[in-house]
Amino acid sequence: MLYYFFTWLEHHIHIPGAGLFQYISFRTGMSVIISLLITTVYGGRLIRILQRKQVGESIRNLGLEGQLQKQGTPTMGGLIILGGILVPTLLFARLENIYVVLMLITTVWMGAIGFLDDYIKVFRKNKEGLAGRFKVVGQIGLGIIIACTMYFHPAIVARQKISGPAAATPDAVNVMLVQPVNGKPYYTQDVKSSKTNIPFYKNNEFDYGKVLKIFGLNGPVITFIVFLSFVVFIVTAVSNGANITDGIDGLATGISAIAGITLAVLAYVSGNTIFAEYLNIMYIPNSAELVVFAGAFVGACTGFLWYNAYPAQVFMGDTGSLAIGGIIATFAIMIRKELLIPILCGVFLVELVSVILQVSYFKYTKKKYGEGRRIFLMSPLHHHYQKKGYHESKIVTRFWILGIMLAIIAIVTLKIR
């Protein structure tokens, strides 16, 4: 909103400095600052409200050190994160940008599902919360919205090289001649594309339309079905991974902030013609506006750590964990970096896999031997290390270090082919 206001002031009244709002870098910086202010200043007030409402976490005794001391700690703190994301985005982002609109929808959608889950747990005194099948339906619903919009919306395009006489015809739409400093000139065109970036390969474009081509299945319908399946799987997996990782103070929040910074870098280079050309990655027109949203996301996660770091004064609950997972997944999909998620969200992936392995192995051994056996002392993986005697702070710090290493690897893949 402030973007439109100051743009109007610049054009009609010529106020000095109003033109700063035309720069993504300035608006991103302001987005981070306002997000930090909202989460740190107003976060404390929300925590006091939650305490008065007795919105406390019910802790199951799992035999973990210091666990029962957290009984009654306010939950639903994800509302702080949501406020820290939505307000700066509405103030500083260009709201007609389809990518920003999709991120706002994702934030509210997943936040609402998580809020409903927390509400049932806290106010209805149902420890199970929202039934798992309803969560999955909500995640699938968001995946369908994202996939359909990405596939059919005319403003979501990718710039690709084209060749041949058709490239230079007068009636060709969005055709541009690129004259590199070193190299042969070529034509590009902004088109609807089913391609995405794939790391570590020289020709780094993966085409969803060719996944089933070996079975003789191709065409627009098959391409859309394959793309839809990928999107739904990614949104569901990452949001559940973030939800499972949110088990000890500051873990999921810190990992999400690291991922947010990385995604901001990836969005900036993907939305900048010079960097995209230099790095030989897909240029996504208008996607650079996502950097402003990423700034709000990083600011919200960092500000929430003010209260969520050990010992936590508030828990984000599913309101926050499902939202941040959905945001990371959707963001990566929109900048065509979803195949980097196993690296970027490696901590979420390992936590999720540890639960799947533990449950599967327990059921298998119980059926085969009549006695369930475990791979880990406890799952998710962070509880395994708690059982081994590691302090929460040490586990969180080491997982953050791993998250930073994985983030660096994700960025380095832009050059390593």
List pLDDT tens digits, range 143-185: 999 999 999 999 999 888 776 555 555 445 577 777 666 667 7
Mean predicted confidence (pLDDT) in 46-58: 77
Q: Give per-residue pLDDT as tens, 86-120.
A: 999 999 999 999 999 999 999 999 999 999 999 89
DSSP 181: S
Q: Cα 272–273–278 angle (5° rounding)?
A: 100
> What is the pLDDT, as a whole number, of residue 66?
60
d(Cα 259, Cα 294) in Å, to the nearest integer? 10
pLDDT, residue 168, reads 52
Separation of CA 58 from chain center = 28
Bridge partner list, 159: 190, 283
Cα 139 from chain centre: 13
- Cβ atoms within 10 A of the Cβ of 360, count? 11
Confidence of residue 370 (pLDDT cuts 50, 70, 90): confident
The more confident residue out of 185 and 359 is 359
Q: Where are the domains of the chain?
A: 22-57+69-157+192-412
Residue type, 207: D
Listed range (6-10, 46-50, 195-199) with the worst mean pLDDT: 6-10
Q: What is the DSSP string of 327-380?
A: HHHHHHHHTT-GGGHHHHTHHHHHHHHHHHHHHHHHHHHHHHHSS---SSSSSS
CA–CA gap between residue 269 and residue 263 (Å, rounded): 10
- 73-89: pLDDT as tens digits: 888 899 999 999 999 99
* pLDDT value of position 279: 85
- Residue 329 and residue 240: Cα distance in Å, rounded? 11
With bands split at pLDDT 50, 70 and 90, how would you rate the model's confidence at 356?
Answer: very high
**Mean pLDDT estimate for the chain:** 87
Please state, in angstroms and rounded to a whole number, the distance separating the CA atoms of residues 288 and 271. 4
pLDDT single digits (tens) 267-324 = 999 999 888 888 888 899 999 999 999 999 999 999 999 999 988 889 998 999 999 9
d(CA 282, CA 271): 9
Give mean pLDDT, residues 369-392. Answer: 90
pLDDT at 203 over 90: no
Instruction: Provide the β-strand partners of residue 160.
Output: 189
Say what the pLDDT of residue 293 is: 97
**Given this model, what pLDDT does residue 331 score?**
97
The answer to whether residue 409 scores a pLDDT higher than 70 is: yes
What was the pLDDT predicted at 61? 57
Compute how many other C-beta atoms are within 10 angstroms of the C-beta atom of residue 192.
13
Give the integer Cα–Cα distance in Å for 284 and 190: 9
Residues 210-224: tens digit of each pLDDT? 888 777 788 889 999
DSSP output for 12-55: HT--TTGGGGG-HHHHHHHHHHHHHHIIIIIHHHHHHHHHHTT-
Phi and psi dihedrals of 280, rounded to 5?
60, 50
φ/ψ bin of 370: left (φ > 0), alpha (ψ from -120 to 50), beta (otherwise): left
User: Is there a cis peptide before residue 88, judged by omega within 30 degrees of 0?
Assistant: no
Q: Which residue has the higher pLDDT, 202 or 49?
A: 49
